Chain A
Amino acid sequence: MTSPAPVSEIRIVADRLTKRFGDFVAVNAVSFEARAGEIIGFLGPNGAGKSTTIRILTGLLRPSGGQAIVAGFDVARSPERVRENIGYMSQKFSLYTDLTVMENLRFFGGVYGVNGARLEERLKFAIGMAGLTDRTDALVADLSGGWKQRLALGCAVLHEPAILFLDEPTSGVDPASRRRFWDLIYSLAGEGVCVVITTHYMDEAEYCNRIALINAGRLVALGSPSELKRRAIRGEILLVQGDNPGAMLEALEGAPAVRDVAPFGSSLHIVVDDAARDRPVIETLLKERELGWSRIEPIKPTLEDVFVQLIGADSARATAR
């Protein structure tokens, strides 16, 4: 229920949650808590275990180990009680395209057990939220991506769930629609809904209150975007743009002043202890190799830097093990 809840109320507790498929460990002892009104983003490479984690939390997959309490119920023991309290948008668009907007909404209202005056009120809310007031009789197949996405969200919140799980909800949607979608998520979180979202868009991850960084099934880091940046990047970042980033990468890797270097598109991000002090050292290194650059300057670390740093370090540890 979205009735104003104290922000401190814990909605999800995952305790060493584990999922194995045969020998493959898809989710490896993931523990975290999420609270009412919080937007927690699962970020990680494809196949890292983000969707699997969400599917365990929604009761779609049984955990192989550990425990998850969602909305006060154990997902393994009372999945039906959990399902009464959650809304879920799967990665794949999953409304009935051969039904109209209204037919879809009424169907989900029915299966979530919403009825009477409350149903009419919630239908109005969902239609308004999706911006489909004039198109309630349109077949869903005829709607464009952004509208479909908002309608799916509308269907998922008809029963005013305490927790909303969104598995890559904005993939394949244009930027304007994505922005609008996030406005809706913010307003839902503002009403006290706990939102768990997976994404691989770095800019979207910045919108989350907290980010759970997942790699190879493990929770690598958990914190607000700024916390993660502070923690992951001990040092400063220099951006170098040049004609031959490949050769530059080779030249700088393992150099004394360089703590880490990673390609970002056509440029490089170099992690150094002190940007002002180390910049001439790097310029000298590049000159020695006769590598030209068009731009070299200190930048603020982005989540992508954090991502590269933490995932890189984690993968290195995994290999060493």
Chain B
Amino acid sequence: MNLRRVKAIARKEIIQVWRDPRSLMVVLLMPLMQMALLGYGVNLDIKHVTICVFDREGSQESQSLMKAFQASAYFDIVEADHDYNAVKRAIDAGRCKMAIVIPPDFSQDLSTTNSSSVQAILDATDDNTANIALGYAQAVVGAFSANVQVERTQSLGQPPPVAPAVAQYRVWFNEDLVSRDFIIPGVVALVLALVGAQLTSLTLSREWERGTMEVLVSTPVTRMELMAGKILPYFFIGMLDAVLCLVIAVLWFETPFRGSVITLLLTTSLFLIVVLGLGYFISARIRSQIGASQIALVATLLPTTMLSGFAFPIDQMPGVIQAITYLVPARYYFMILKAIFLKGSGLADLITPIAFLAIYAVTIALLATRAFRKTLG
């Protein structure tokens, strides 16, 4: 490999990116926009579910149950209705996701039969939200019943009932169970995958499209030199973007960062080589800029969102799909990022995903070199 040739190509590439507004936009604006969009847009926490209440009794008991809902951070009572039609309209119009209906004999049943029921009507067009809201509602009602029981036994002068076993739980790594802390590392992986592959997907196709490739391949430059010279500038640009994204993640989104910066930079550069290589591979095969950029988008966006464990947990997937996720480089990088950010894992803990990424990097580099042929047609 002749380093002078690599340098000549890298230099030319930097000048071209610098003078091309479209490339500059991909380099600088895209990561910023995606960080903002995904960082704010993707929120898996379900809080402030809008509910309406229909209290058919209006007793002290029913009111204290209402207050329990009101006090919960998970629910916002937006209206109180006085008949079923109003409840139906409120749900149909989307003003509330759930309605809590307290029966007219609520307090009476409680005192006579020691049990009563509360009706919850849910808008399950978004089944996930409905499921989670139902869970929260059951918890609120459960806590209310426990209170009633305690009060009852106390008023009878008996000792409080003994719960046979109580689970004491402690959450590690994401103590507050804030989904954003889990999402932001995923967003960083997604942005780097997208931007990285975009950057290099244009690099060979631009030469084909503008007709400069024919003379370039008639020069003694080798395939390795061409790839090195073309990827090198984008590696530095990619690292710049990575640092930008990581700084936004930590300083702006306040994602806890517990690992070492060195580990983070090492693993990030490995991941970058993989996605840059992927973009270059696509560019070697697709001779139009639009085509190459579209394919690079699909090749990174879909697997990175769907199959990296970012949107759906991998161990919940069917076996075949789980097997496919091993081919998605973002899977490893996402795993690494989560571990470094939230657990503070070091290189030794991450040896398996790092090894996978390294194998990936070597494979894609080989494929990308071979994909480009110094012949026409």
Contacts and interface: CB of A to CB of B under 8 A. Distances in A.
B166 interface: no
Given A60-B375, A80-B220, A111-B221, A96 B214 contact: no
A155 B216 CA distance: 11
A90 B8 contact: no
Given A61-B377, A113-B4, A94 B222 contact: no
A86 interface: yes
A92 B211 contact: yes
A88 B210 contact: no
B285 interface: no
B219 A83 contact: yes
A79 interface: yes
Given A61-B375, A98-B20, A113-B4, A93 B12 contact: no
A103 B376 CA distance: 26
Contacts of A156: 215
Interface string B359-370: 000000000000
A18 B210 CA distance: 29
A115 B2 CA distance: 12
Interface string A80-109: 100110101110111111110001001111
Given A110-B7, A115-B4, A99 B215 contact: no
B210 to A, nearest CB: 7
B242 interface: no
Given A61-B377, A103-B15, A111-B220, A97 B8 contact: no
B217 interface: yes
A55 B12 contact: no
A59 B374 CA distance: 8
Interface string A46-66: 000000000100111110000
Interface string A143-156: 00000000010011
Contacts of A103: 12, 15
Contacts of B210: 94, 96-97
Nearest to B6: A110
> Taking each of B4, B19, B212, B219, which has the highest tally of chain A beta carbons within 10 Å of its own beta carbon?
B219
Interface in B15-47: 15-16, 19-20
Contact of A98 (B7, B16, B374, B377): B16
Interface string B232-269: 00000000000000000000000000000000000000
B377 to A, nearest CB: 6
Contacts of B218: 58-60, 83, 86, 88, 90, 165
Contacts of A95: 212, 215
A94 B214 contact: yes
B5 A60 contact: no
A272 to B, nearest CB: 46
B211 A94 contact: yes
Contacts of B183: none
Interface in A107-144: 107-113, 115
A88 B219 CA distance: 8
Contacts of A94: 210-216
Contacts of B221: 111
Given A59-B374, A92-B211, A94-B211, A110 B222 contact: no
Interface residues of B, number: 29
B101 interface: no
Nearest to B9: A111
Contacts of B220: 80, 83-84, 111-113
A60 B376 contact: yes
A306 to B, nearest CB: 31
A100 to B, nearest CB: 9
B119 to A, nearest CB: 69
Interface in B144-194: none
B130 to A, nearest CB: 55
B11 interface: yes
Contacts of B5: 110-111, 113
A96 B222 CA distance: 19
Nearest to A82: B220
A112 B219 contact: yes
A60 to B, nearest CB: 5
Interface in B63-91: none
Nearest to A94: B215
Contact of A110 (B9, B211, B376): B9
A111 B374 contact: no
A111 B221 CA distance: 6
A109 B214 contact: no
A107 B230 CA distance: 13
Nearest to A55: B376
Contact of B219 (A21, A89, A97, A111): A111
Given A60-B376, A61-B377, A88 B9 contact: no
Contacts of B12: 96, 99, 103, 107
A99 B374 contact: no
A21 B211 CA distance: 21
A165 B218 CA distance: 10
Contact of B211 (A90, A98, A109): A90
Contacts of B19: 98
A110 B11 contact: yes
Given A110-B4, A115-B4, A99 B15 contact: yes
A79 B374 contact: yes
A291 to B, nearest CB: 49
A96 to B, nearest CB: 6
A60 B374 CA distance: 7
Interface of A: 21, 55, 58-62, 79-80, 83-84, 86, 88-90, 92-99, 103, 106-113, 115, 152, 155-156, 165
| Nearest 5 A/B pairs, CB to CB | A110-B8, A88-B218, A92-B211, A94-B215, A90-B214
27 contacts: A55-B376, A58-B218, A59-B218, A60-B214, A60-B217, A61-B375, A61-B377, A79-B374, A80-B222, A88-B215, A88-B218, A90-B215, A94-B210, A94-B216, A95-B212, A95-B215, A96-B12, A107-B8, A108-B219, A109-B8, A110-B4, A111-B5, A111-B216, A112-B220, A113-B5, A113-B220, A165-B218
Interface of B: 2, 4-5, 7-9, 11-12, 15-16, 19-20, 210-222, 374-377
Given A90-B211, A90-B214, A113-B5, 4 more contacts: A58-B218, A59-B374, A61-B376, A99-B15
